[in-house]
Chains A and B, each alone.
Chain A
Amino acid sequence: MSENTITTTPETASLWQRFNNSHLLQSFKKDKVAIVSFTILMLFIGTAILAPLLAPFDPYDPNTIDIMDSELPPVWQEDSADKFLLGTDAQGRDLLSTILYGMRTSLLIGICAVLLQCFLGIIVGLCAGYFGGRIDSFLMRIADIQLSFSTLMVAIVVLAVFQASFGSELYAKLALFMLILVIGIAEWPQYARTIRASVLAEKHKEYVDAARVMGFRSSRIMLHHILPNTLSPLLVISTVQIANAIISEASLSFLGLGMPVSQPSLGSLISSGFEYIFSGSWWISAIPGIVLVVLVMVINLLGDWLRDVLNPKLYKD
């Protein structure tokens, strides 16, 4: 080796060691809010995945539901039954089991809708940012037009029309799918704008020029080189968007346009129990409501923490 060579040997750290030493993990360990939020979220996700194993009853099975069991209060109140920990709803379904399955549905819709938004937004944002000019103007106008329609309004119109045209039976089968589609398509401009802003910043950096000088195709440069560098803001808005999607679905279900009664989500549970609040059976709406609030809050808190951690200006080492 010439006298030019750097000869000090590096510590070859394995992936696990790198992660252990990384800024992300270190600041996570120090932030109590992040730790608590993450734990609660993992708890929710875990129970949602294991719902069939954990739930004492299957709320979808009509054989296990007895109308005589309806409107039983939670165990800490009088007149309750021990087998129904959180009470029952108007149909006699165990609230605990219904909440577990409902959370499953809510999380599924939230995450899938966001994946769809992400996918559409990335494609549009990358093209708009990288190619610029007329393509950029055109795509961003479409995004602007889309943004001027409120998500909920579009969702209501689409779902109402669908329900009216195809009847409630078909609707019940496709509800999950439709919700994911509608919420997914309604909110892609958020992602497109964020990605476009990042792409515009990265486009002028010399490593992109170097890739062009090497002869790589535009698609390769966009996907392999630029996209990985735009992921930080994506991650941050994704957490917020998941929370928003869950709330949107809950709102739609509350209005009767979301999940059908036979496949409840947290929102539809709140909706179906609403009329019973004043007649005394508060737990049918309140308990799923509390679960929803906590779920959305921990997702938002994690999103806040992630934004601070990934912000290079606040990152002072």
Chain B
Amino acid sequence: MSFLQVKNLEVTFNLRSRPLKALQDISFDLERGERLGIVGESGAGKSVAAFAILNLISRPGKISAGEVLLDGQDLSKLSSKEMRKIRGNKVAMIFQDPMMTLNPVFTIGDQMIECLKAHRKISTSNAKKIAIQKLKQVQIPSPETRIDQYPHELSGGMKQRIIIAIALLMDPALIIADEPTTALDVTIQAEIMELLLELCKSNHVALILITHDLGVVSHVTQKTLVMYAGRIIEQGPTNEIINDAQHPYTQGLINALPQQTLPGEKLNQIRGTMPSLQDVPKGCAFNPRCDFVLDACTQQRPEFTQSGGCSVACHMVQAMKAAERGQDTDE
């Protein structure tokens, strides 16, 4: 049994106008120490998925179907008291903007000690020792002085390292990182991602990395799933997705990167925009923007097809695979 099993997860928001399905049919597995990337553009539902795993969806949204099994225990059915024991303890989360995540009126030390004390009986001095040790782990220089500083005295890169240190305080088994480097500069981004990768490898911590940056995903993760309009449209080993994407949307995303076109040439764009969740087209949500539309695409939502190591939800891929199998049986 996998460490984390998400089965047919569905999140619905009960709005004034009508209920909105932010996530539908999300299923994936994660082993201990494995690193998964969730890729998609804004509005695809990646952050909602992260919050749903930790049962952090607040009204008017709720988990309307599915299970989130962590070591066999269904997180979506736990009470808030029980969830509090899991959050920050077994599962830690890193958010996007380090400036917002740290409380400006408390010192770094106060915030780290508070986290430790919330989960176990520990004296302040011992907690401080552990905090300093974690700060060293994330390569903060002179942690003994830093621990008494306030967030505004530190740079963005340092703050994000501290947040990683806070995430590691209770030696979690899983870290969920929601766009941890989007707000940071390129050089700092590279350092932070390397740090996160090192720590996950050395401490055997599973990682779910949510991002829109395919370059980061290709370096850090072993598996990737691609989301579009609240659903998974492709998932599989990262190098296969990057080098041999099957779904037209994934291909489009990769081809749209400036690195894929010669300088001065027009970029390969995907026409149109992701539909808002209130206006999802019938059939495959991507069909208005797709160059390979078949009749089935506007009528029926595609099922998952196995192609290589990947699972792809696409009628065209399904048709191609069926044709290949047909050819094989002929031969």
Contacts and interface: CB of A to CB of B under 8 A. Distances in A.
Interface residues on A, range: under 10
Interface in A265-317: 316-317
Interface string B4-23: 00000000000111000000
B264 interface: no
A26 interface: yes
B271 A316 contact: no
A3 interface: yes
Interface in B260-276: 271-272
B271 A3 contact: yes
A26 B271 contact: no
Interface string A1-17: 00110100000000000
B141 interface: no
B326 interface: no
Interface in B211-241: none
Contacts of B60: 316
Contacts of A3: 271
Contacts of A317: 15-17
A3 B268 CA distance: 12
Contacts of B272: 6
A239 to B, nearest CB: 24
A26 B272 CA distance: 31
A96 B113 CA distance: 69
Nearest to B288: A8
Interface in A1-45: 3-4, 6, 26
Nearest to A26: B16
A115 B263 CA distance: 60
A26 B271 CA distance: 35
A3 B17 CA distance: 34
A21 to B, nearest CB: 10
Interface of A: 3-4, 6, 26, 316-317
Interface of B: 15-17, 60, 271-272
Given A3-B271, A26-B16, A316-B60, 6 more contacts: A4-B271, A6-B272, A316-B15, A317-B15, A317-B16, A317-B17
